[in-house]
Amino acid sequence: MAKFTLFLVHGIGIHRDPSWADETIEMLAQAWDSTIDLDSTVYDHIDIVPITYDEVFEDYLDDFADLGKAVLSDTLALSSNERGALSKTLSDSKITDKHFLWSYLVDVVLYKMDIVKAQVNALVAKQLYQRISQGSTSDEYGIIAHSLGTRVINDTLQTIQSGTANESNFYQQGYRIKFLMQISDVTDLFSLPLNSDKHPPKDVYPHGTFDYLRTVTNRFDPIARMIPTKLNHWPDGRASDFYMGRSVYQDIMLEHVHETNVHGLTHYMLHPEITDEIFDLCGFGRLLKEPNVRRKAFPVVGPQVQPSLRTALRELIHDAKALADNSWQTYVNLVIRFGDLSTEHGHDQAPQTHHNGSGASA
Amino acid sequence: MKTLFFLSVTIGSLLSSAATVACESVLTNTSVQALTIKQAEGKLNRALMSIGGSRGDLANVDDIDCYLQSQTELLPSLKEVSGALTKLGRALDQAGSIEESRMAINIINAKVARDAGSGFVMLPKSDQETIQINLYAEVIGTHCNDEASLMCNQATTLAKNLWWVAGEYRAFADSKNASDKIASLAFNQRLDNQWRSYKDDTIKLWPQEVLLNSLVYRTSDKGLSAPPSYKLLGLRPSLGLSYLSDQRHRIQPTLNLDILGVYWWRYGGDNGVTAQPGRGISASLVWDGDDTAYGMTYHHNPKWSATIAHGDENDVVFSISFQLAHWLVAR
């Protein structure tokens, strides 16, 4: 077989260009070196392709800022000194800083807007297609999506599948997506706030859109735990099916806490159960070295983490369950408290590139 | 791709010459090395992992059919597979129109698959049904054990060839989907450009207008959606320079608000996806700090607008946008 093509789809936060995935790719490379019984590197066998759609959100946010600035600043007859003073005041007061809530929720709110969603879907479809169409229909393709990306990729695949062969429906051109791994799946979160989903992912299921689905949740990730994956739209019995020697669907529950941002993609990628599953789905399962031993040896609490964080996260989840389920108030409450908790335990608000700090980028 | 083209040509030419090539010449194993099950699994594993694993000496549909029928002693289910697979290959090879090709591609896509990790291949065994074959358990596991044997060698070759056959059948589509691929790449680029133009080349939206436009916008039922050629305006603030007929200082800055309106344009340019400047109209109000006047605003382009409004005491307000005022003053 040719190289496996693995797409990575980001979640909420700042992901302006494909370099957002550098750290995740490096973690996959390290996991490959330590777990796969081959002398070659992951890059020799798997093409890892980051997908980026955050530019759409960022462009809208820039527009909003420009419009406000045009009304409040540029059109007022302020001298340049006064404008500078105003800018400094805003900066000193941290009024222009992106709050945790802003960083996490504004992308979700924008994606719920149909004109934004349609543009994001078109952009993601374009990137997927440009890469897939370079390969053969005998090649294999997989997708790992995180957080908001889980919903984005569901919508995009559903839209692609409903189209025609000459409008980038690659399924009708002979291509298949082998697997979709949804990390911190928020697909069903979009029923908030009115308990209704305008565009439910009704046509996304095996074997129409992909062969295998994996949902991955950390027990202490409040975003993922808020509304668990339902798969209500799947045909009866499909979730328990076996296909080509694998279970069609698996829900993988983790419970490690190695960083304050347990929601982050890189935090999920630390766990050998996830990287093992990725390599297995990519076709290298028989080359995994002692998977059970490594998984058992993986510490539940990371070396840099105080046990108090784990306790606090457990309490957060417990308290959230006591609130009214499936309401936007509960969700916002949970996100705010998760932000407070992360801050309290040293989580820096500024976007960072290293998972040790696990910044607002998620 | 070179390989697939060769496959297509080979199939076409050999089908027309009634397939006289003996199947042994293509897929038969010439090795006489006896193998143990461990050696067999290692060989199959390497074959499944190999990059660019398709072989250069490609078979044609009839060769594959001949070979599969010759292997039914090792794997009896191949009796059903060979006929169904050949039928599929011929359907695709003989597909003349784009629609026929698409239909054949869809069938192959649904019925032929392979998974290097699990070592499974899926092949058709009738028009409706498929069969999933575990190459490790059903092929090698059935004929190999700890004692080295030639039978194990043959089974290993069969397993590798089934993997190869599934891959080649899946690759059949490559020779038939070229026009759709070219059209799709152009479609995606056009759509992306059109969306960018919708957002950037026309009037910019405030957050509440993004919501308003999303409530009205309807996505396509089939496939990806193109952007609309209008934007609704709602509660849109701007600063204006206004003439107020009842004030002592008759010309002064005012706060103007588009209460509800619409801005429209056409897509044009060389590629037909660039939003042209457009124009808009809206119901609006003008507020001078004390009184409010209601009227209509005309947006000549995303930057310039003019409003005429009527106040409480029969006074008239004429207002232009700050950008227009600056432009007029600058002249």
- Is the CB of B167 less than 8 angstroms away from the CB of A126? no
Question: Which pLDDT score, from 0 to 100, does residue A83 have?
Answer: 59
Question: Which pLDDT score, from 0 to 100, does residue A196 have?
Answer: 74
Question: Which pLDDT score, from 0 to 100, does residue B16 have?
Answer: 33
Higher pLDDT, B4 or A160: A160
- Statement: residue A179 has pLDDT above 90: yes
B6-37 confidence digits (pLDDT tens)? 343 333 333 333 333 455 545 666 667 899 99
Name the A residues in 284-323 with CB < 8 Å from any B CB: 284-287
In this predicted complex, what is the ipTM? Answer: 0.87
Distance from the Cα of A70 to chain B's closest Cα (Å) equals 9
A59 in B contact zone (CB under 8 Å): yes
Chain A residue at shortest CA distance from B4: A136
What is the spatial distance between Cα A138 and Cα B55, in angstroms, rounded to a whole number?
13
Question: Which pLDDT score, from 0 to 100, does residue B8 have?
Answer: 39
Calculate the dihedral angle through the C-alpha atoms of B239, B244, B248, B250, rounding to the nearest 10 degrees.
Answer: 60
Nearest to A126 among B109, B179, B189 (CB): B189
Confidence band, pLDDT 50/70/90 cuts, at residue B75: very high
- Statement: residue B326 has pLDDT above 70: no
Confidence band, pLDDT 50/70/90 cuts, at residue B130: very high
- Strands (DSSP E) along chain A, which ranges? 4-9, 46-51, 141-146, 179-183, 212-218, 242-243, 246-247, 249-254
For residue A112, give both structure tokens: 């719920």
Question: Which pLDDT score, from 0 to 100, does residue A67 have?
Answer: 75
From the candidate CATH numbers 1.10.10.60, 3.40.50.1820, 3.40.47.10, 3.20.10.10, the one assigned to the domain spanning A4-53+98-344: 3.40.50.1820
Angle at A85 between CA A84 and CA A88, to 5 degrees: 85
Q: Which of B30, B187, B204, B233 is nearest to A163 (CA)?
A: B187
Angle at A165 between CA A159 and CA A166, to 5 degrees: 105
What is the spatial distance between Cα B160 and Cα B42, in angstroms, rounded to a whole number?
11
Higher pLDDT, B322 or B141: B141
- Statement: residue A90 has pLDDT above 90: no
Angle at B222 between CA B219 and CA B223, to 5 degrees: 85
- Residue B127 region, left (φ>0) first, then alpha (ψ -120 to 50), else beta? alpha
Q: A197-201, A326-330, B296-300: lowest mean pLDDT where?
A: A326-330
Give the number of A-B residue pairs with CB atoms closer than 8 Å. 208
Which residue reads 């190869």 in tokens? B164
Q: Which long-range contacts link A132-136 to residues 24+ away (Cβ below 8 Å)?
A: A132/A5, A132/A170, A132/A175, A133/A170, A133/A173, A133/B181, A133/B184, A133/B185, A135/A2, A135/A5, A135/A175, A136/A2, A136/B1, A136/B4, A136/B170, A136/B171, A136/B174
- Statement: residue B58 has pLDDT above 70: no
Q: DSSP label at B205?
A: P
Calculate mean pLDDT across residues A279-302. Answer: 91
Which residues, 6+ apart, have CB-to-CB distance to B95 below 8 Å? B101, B103, B104, B176
Entry pTM: 0.87
Calculate mean pLDDT across residues B294-310. Answer: 91
Q: DSSP label at B245?
A: T
Longest dimension (CA), chain B: 110
Domain ranges of chain A: 4-53+98-344, 61-92
